[in-house]
Amino acid sequence: MEEILQPRTDGGVLAQGAIIALVFALGFIRVRHDRDWRLLLAGLAVFTLGLFALRATH
């Protein structure tokens, strides 16, 4: 479980990315008709991808 929360290997990062992608995909399906919630979820997704990018450059 610790490897998923704070991955030290590439496999852990890939697993974390797959879980995050699944969560956001399910979220977008759930809020597809409400523009405000869709915008909020898109912002959270972009923020999360930014955190992944910062971690990759570190």
Cα distance between residue 16 and residue 52, in whole Å: 10
- Mean pLDDT on 15-19: 89
Domain extents in the chain = 33-58
Residues 33-55: tens digit of each pLDDT: 999 999 999 999 999 999 888 88
Q: What is the pLDDT of residue 4?
A: 66
Q: What is the pLDDT of residue 34?
A: 93
Q: What percent of the chain has pLDDT over 90?
A: 55
Between the CA atoms of 17, 48, 9 and 1, what dihedral angle is there, to the nearest 10 degrees?
A: -80
Q: What is the pLDDT of residue 46?
A: 94
| Paired tokens of 44 | 């959270």
**Is 0.95 surpassed by the pTM of this model?**
no
Evaluate if residue 21 carries a pLDDT over 80. Answer: yes
